[in-house]
Structure 1
């Protein structure tokens, strides 16, 4: 398995995990505000990283909040677009430096490979926060662990 294969797996996991969380949101009478804010942020960040990699303007702000319908649309854009970027990248692209200014006005240069790795890790971090928030509000969060995703792929869900 190559590094590209690992990133492809993570990009597909990211799609599954984001959809799994949003599917649970859709079953709730009201999504807790902090959970919605954190999931919005996680998907906003992916859209912002996509814009930086592709040299386009971001369609969202880092802490912009979205109602559920907009969040689903953002997931359908960002989660799939980032997977497309991974699938289309070669070694040269993965090693390309992206020069950007963060939300605090600080300038950085980061390899595409590191940006993509960060984007997936960042989303996982915030999904865990969302799960904690759902639990605090009396809801049962989904299990979005990577191994759960792999088990589902292999038909080992009981």
Structure 2
């Protein structure tokens, strides 16, 4: 398995995990405000990183909040676009340095490989925060563990 294979797996897991969270959101009478805020941030960050990699303007702000329908649309654009970037990247692209300014106005230069790795890790972190908030509000959060995704792919989820 190559580094590209690992990132491809993570990009597909990211799609699954984000959709799994959205499925739970869709089943609730209303999404707790903080859960929506945290998950909005996770998807916003993906869109922002995509914009930095592609040299385009971000369609969202870091902590911009979205309603359920907007979250679904952002997932469709950001989660799938980041997977597309991984699928189309080669070693040269993964090692390309991206110069960008973060939300605090600080300038950095980071490899595409490291940006993508961070984006998937960051999304996992904020999905966990979202799950905690759902539980704190009396809801059952989804299990979005990577191993659960793998088991589901292998037909081993009972």
2:13 match:
13
- Which residue number corresponds to residue 56 of structure 1? 56
> Structure 2 length as normaliser, TM-score?
1.00
Distance across 2 between alignment mates of 1:49 and 1:67: 21
SS in 1 for 2:61: coil
Matches within 5 A, 1:14-33: 14-33=14-33
Which residue in 2 is equivalent to 1:67?
67
Aligned pairs for 1:1-158 (under 5 A) are 1-158=1-158
Q: Quote the Cα distance in structure 1 between the aligned partners of 2:52 and 2:17.
A: 23
CA distance in 1, matches of 2:75, 2:83: 12
List per-residue Cα deviations over 1:60-89 (Å, max 9, x = no partner).
000000000000000000000000000000
The runs of 4+ residues in structure 1 deviating greater than 3 Å are none
How far the C-alpha of 1:30 sits from its partner, in A, is 0.6
Secondary structure of the residue aligned to 1:5 is helix
Q: Quick one: distance in 2 between partners of 1:3 and 1:46?
A: 20
For 1:61 and 1:132, how far apart are their aligned partners in 2?
Answer: 24
Measure the CA separation in 1 of the matches of 2:4 and 2:152. Answer: 22
Q: What's the TM-score once normalised by structure 1's chain length?
A: 1.00
Instruction: Tell me the distance in 2 between the aligned counterparts of 1:156 and 1:30.
Output: 31
| CA distance in structure 1 between the aligned counterparts of 2:157 and 2:67, rounded to whole angstroms | 31
3-state SS of 2:98 partner: strand
Which 5+ residue runs of structure 1 have no aligned equivalent?
none
Offset from partner CA, 1:120-143 (integer Å, 9 cap, x none): 000000000000000000000000
Q: Superposition RMSD on alpha carbons, in Å?
A: 0.2
Q: Which runs of 5+ in 2 are unaligned?
A: none
Give the length in aligned residue pairs. Answer: 158
